[in-house]
Amino acid sequence: MQERTSVNNPQIKAIGKLSQKKYREESGYYLIEGFHLVEEALKAKAKYREILATPPALKRLESLGLEFDQDKLIKISEGVARHLSSTKNSQDVFMTVKINQPEHFDFNYGKWVLLDDLADPGNVGTIIRTADAAGFDGVILSNRTVDLYNPKVQRSMQGSQFHLSLIKADLPEAIASLQAADIPVYASLLDPQAKQLGDFAPQAQVALIIGNEAHGVSADIAALADEKLYIPIKGRAESLNAAVAAGIMIYHFS
């Protein structure tokens, strides 16, 4: 087993840089941390390059009884663990996981959520977690939506990336592909003139477009939708949080 005790070691430095999108894209890997995520990744047979753990964390990892590649294991010091961690309470276990983005995807079945330029990583992760809980098939992220492998997105989606398809795509192309397969596409708008959520019957296949936190679904994307959908605001709040609005819609159609 290899051992790394210095944050200046070139391999550790390279792994530390995976917190930045640029280096994730260059290397094709992203970093996950904590027992729950590492366990989910191993169970899902995700491809990975390294598992890094301090001696106590390694002991706990081995006690979980999961199979992993001993050649990829690196023993690290607590200092290295602190350097790699993006949280205050690190569990001292990390894994570099291969980014798995298909070149092309046919959206020809199922239930999908489309994210139109969402900016808040907590919202993106929470929406993916909700889509997973509701048994949706996947989430489609517009090119300007916050990066899926951002550590805050990772934390809030809690391993759901190993359960459903997460696909970065050009939204107009994805919408055309969904519509070609007769999957209805609904855009959520803060517009009392739109059709109310309660008037939509549950259905076997559906695609829901969620808009940016400040600007909503962009006009050109909304124009492509089969129907515009409104969650009624009955009180005096001006709007709902994007992840809450998405959750209400996702469960309505689950």
**Assigned token pair, 32:** 């996950």
126 touches a copy of itself (CB under 8 A): yes
For residue 111, the 8-state DSSP code is E
Site track for a copy of itself across 142-181, x = CB under 8 A: --------------x-xxx--xx-----------------
**Assigned token pair, 25:** 């894209």
> Closest approach of Cβ 195 to a copy of itself, in Å?
16
84 touches a copy of itself (CB under 8 A): no
> Closest approach of Cβ 18 to a copy of itself, in Å?
24
Residue 27 φ then ψ, to 5°: -90, -25
Contact 94, 29 (CB under 8 A): no
Stretch that binds a copy of itself, among 11-19, 88-96, 133-141, 222-230 (CB under 8 A): 133-141
> Closest approach of Cβ 48 to a copy of itself, in Å?
20
Residue with smaller CB distance to a copy of itself, 221 or 243: 243
**Assigned token pair, 103:** 């070149």
Among 85, 130, 142, 150, binds a copy of itself (CB under 8 A): 130
Reported in sequence order, the residue ranges of the chain that DSSP labels E, i.e. its strands, are 2-4, 29-33, 48-53, 73-76, 93-98, 111-116, 138-141, 165-168, 185-188, 195-196, 206-211, 227-230
Q: Name which of residues 220 to 249 contact a copy of itself (CB under 8 A).
A: 231-241, 243-248
Residue with smaller CB distance to a copy of itself, 48 or 136: 136
Alpha-carbon distance 209 to 85, whole Å? 33
Alpha-carbon distance 136 to 156, whole Å? 17
Q: Which residues bind a copy of itself (CB under 8 A)?
A: 122, 126, 129-136, 156, 158-160, 163-164, 231-241, 243-248, 251, 254
